[in-house]
């Protein structure tokens, strides 16, 4: 019986030795390390401040904000006074409130904001224009109050004109006058004027039980 010859095991090839990893030059390694440190130390970018947050920082006593806030109820009542769909009774109720608010607004505005505007060459003419419009509306209120209850057509016509005049006056103030004031007066000065306006209004300057005080 033939004997099986033992198969010779194949000799394993010697393992190839791995080439040592190339080390980065010392200078390059130092630069990379410096960049990594700088990246960690770099302060995070500040988030952009939203317009809402910026506006919140503005003083509530800034004369610009004070005047705009004082205009809001007048604007609502103007819509009633100039409407062709409101009844005469609705307009009479609106007029009573409107006339009171308007008179309570005008004289403090003249004695605070307009007074400071007269001291500034860039604003002097605008102050005179505003005061003249106040005089016209004051005269119109006097005319309206002098009408009898039976003069409804004339009363309604004059009230509508009054509303339109004041609406125009408010638009000019908010779109032209107040932006100019913001440029000419710093925040501290605007707050001073705003506080002055509110104090005069609280004292009821210019308003009597009969209406507008001319003194």
Q: What topology does CATH give the domain 63-206?
A: 1.20.120
In the chain, what are the domain boundaries? 63-206
Q: So what's the pLDDT on residue 176?
A: 96
Dihedral of alpha carbons 101, 111, 159, 79, sign: negative
State if pTM tops 0.85.
no
Average of per-residue pLDDT across 155-181: 97
| CA 5 – CA 108 distance, rounded (Å) | 124
Q: How far apart are CA 193 and CA 154, in angstroms?
A: 39
Structure-block tokens of residue 79: 């819509």
Six-digit token pair at 64?
A: 């610009």
**Pair of tokens at residue 193:** 């004027």
Tell me what the mean pLDDT of segment 89-111 comes to: 96
Cα–Cα distance measured from residue 153 to residue 110, given in angstroms and rounded to the nearest whole number = 32
HSE-up of residue 62 (Cα within 13 Å, Cβ side): 16
Q: Which of 54-58, 91-95, 189-193, 201-205 has the lowest mean pLDDT?
A: 54-58
- Section 164-184 average pLDDT: 97
Token pair, residue 40, equals 């960690």
């Amino acid at each position: 019986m033939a004997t099986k010859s033992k198969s010779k095991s194949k000799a394993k090839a010697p393992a190839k030795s791995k080439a040592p990893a190339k080390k980065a030059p010392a200078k390059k390694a130092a630069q990379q390390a410096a960049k990594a440190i700088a990246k960690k130390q770099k302060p995070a970018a500040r988030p952009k401040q939203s317009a809402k947050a910026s506006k919140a920082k503005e003083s509530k006593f800034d004369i610009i904000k004070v005047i705009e806030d004082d205009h809001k109820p007048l604007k609502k009542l103007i819509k009633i006074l100039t409407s062709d769909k409101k009844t005469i009774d609705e307009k009479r109720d609106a007029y009573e409130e409107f006339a009171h608010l308007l008179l309570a607004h005008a004289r403090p505005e003249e004695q605070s904001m307009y007074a400071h505007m007269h001291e500034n060459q860039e604003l002097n003419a605008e102050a005179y224009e505003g005061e003249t419009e106040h005089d016209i509306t004051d005269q119109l209120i006097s005319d309206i109050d002098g009408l009898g209850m039976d003069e409804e057509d004339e009363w309604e016509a004059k009230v509508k004109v009054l509303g339109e005049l004041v609406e125009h006056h408010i638009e000019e103030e908010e779109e032209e006058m107040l932006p100019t004031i913001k440029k000419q007066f710093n925040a501290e000065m605007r707050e001073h004027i705003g506080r002055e306006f509110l104090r005069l209004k609280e004292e009821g300057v210019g308003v009597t039980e009969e209406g507008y005080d001319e003194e």
